[in-house]
Amino acid sequence: MQQRKKLIFTFLLFIIALLLLVYNKPEKKAEYLRTEGVVFGTTYHITYASPGGINLDTTITRALKDIDFSLSMFNEQSTISRINHNDTTVVLDSLFITLFHTSQQVSEHTQGDFDITVAPLVNLWGFGFKKQDQVTPERVDSIKQFVDYQSVAIVNNQLVKQFPQTMLDASAIAKGYACDHVANALRQHGVKNLLVEIGGEVTALGKNAKGNLWRIGINKPVEDSTSTISEIQRVVTFTNAGMATSGNYRNFYVKEGKKFSHTIDPKTGYPVEHSLLSATIIAPDCMTADAYATACMVMGLEAALELCNADSTISGFFIYDDSGTLSEIWSHDFPIE
């Protein structure tokens, strides 16, 4: 009997040792992969730690197509395009619904400085303000009545407009959402560490290949119509958040000695005129950061800084023109290195 107990005890010790060996086996280090390309009229760069070194380019491409089919104004069959053409048969997809709700929340919080219904004014001024000579106060006033985020709502999975002339423009939020959507698609494949950058907007999760937080540069606002100059103003270190920048320094026109930015104030109907050159926002997700960055460019420096200091969920870094001198200021919790 004693001999049998010893055998059982020895066997149990063997099993425990085997289990410890299995569970304490060093986890295979994920391989960091990088992919890049062109999408939405801009470039993207994505780095991710793939479990087992599996290439997930197909997953990334599919996620980008999801955004295009839902939110691209250049895709005539997209959800947003069909809404703008007053197609009453369109059924809203989950991507559009999520973006719409976020847009409305930011609009409420910024008292309409961000407004997804700004499209009629954007069309009036023309892409790159090519129609500026055709813009008159009368035309602005006639169109401005159709720009109001409170005049649209989702009812029974359809977008209801108060005015048929109202149109949506997701360009100030969709790139940020695309970053989040790609990141979420990669996470579903077990990716825990990634950096998704699309046209300067960024979603960061986990750590980089060196085991550190992700380091992202904020561009210096240099007037460059070719978008080829990329000097770094500051470097930010962060993770598990989104970062987006909106700026007026590359998109503007000069008329009668005055510089007009590409950012249109939805409430006045005219391009904004103030000292703020760029606004960089960090938020829990890039979609939210993207929308707030645009709102800050509309409201101007003082209001933008006050907004970020008052809201613990967002932080901001602002570059502005101080009587011809490039100056910067940021909210108290912005993670400048």
Domains parsed from the chain with CATH numbers: 31-330 (3.10.520.10)
Q: How many CA atoms lie within 13 A of 74 on its CB side?
A: 9
- Angle among Cα 154, 160, 165 to the nearest 5 degrees reads 135
Helix (H, G, I), strand (E, B) or coil at 130: coil
Highest mean pLDDT among 114-123, 132-141, 246-255: 114-123
Q: Which residues contact 222 (CB under 8 A, 6 or more apart)?
A: 229, 231, 249
Question: Residue 217, SS3?
Answer: strand
Name the strand (E) or helix (H) holding 43.
Answer: strand 42-50
Q: Which residues pair with residue 37 across a beta bridge?
A: 44
Cβ atoms 33, 48 nearer than 8 A: yes
Q: What is the pLDDT of residues 51-91, one digit of tens each?
A: 989 999 999 999 999 999 999 999 999 999 999 999 999 99
Structure tokens at 243: 């970062």
Rounded Cα distance, 125 and 112, in Å:
19
Q: Which of 227, 242, 218 is nearest to 292 (CA)?
A: 242
pLDDT of residue 204: 98
CA distance 277 to 246: 8
Give 226's pLDDT tier (boundaries 50, 70, 90): very low
pLDDT tens digits, residue range 6-38? Answer: 555 555 555 665 555 545 544 456 789 999 999
pLDDT tens digits, residue range 255-308? 555 555 578 999 999 988 888 999 999 999 999 999 999 999 999 999 999 999
Collapsing DSSP to helix, strand or coil, 41 comes out as: coil
Angle at 261 between CA 151 and CA 84, to 5 degrees: 30
The tokens for 247 are 């700026």
Q: Is 91 left (phi over 0), alpha (psi -120 to 50) or beta?
A: beta
Q: What does the block give as tokens for 143?
A: 């169109």
In the 8-state DSSP scheme, what is residue 90? P
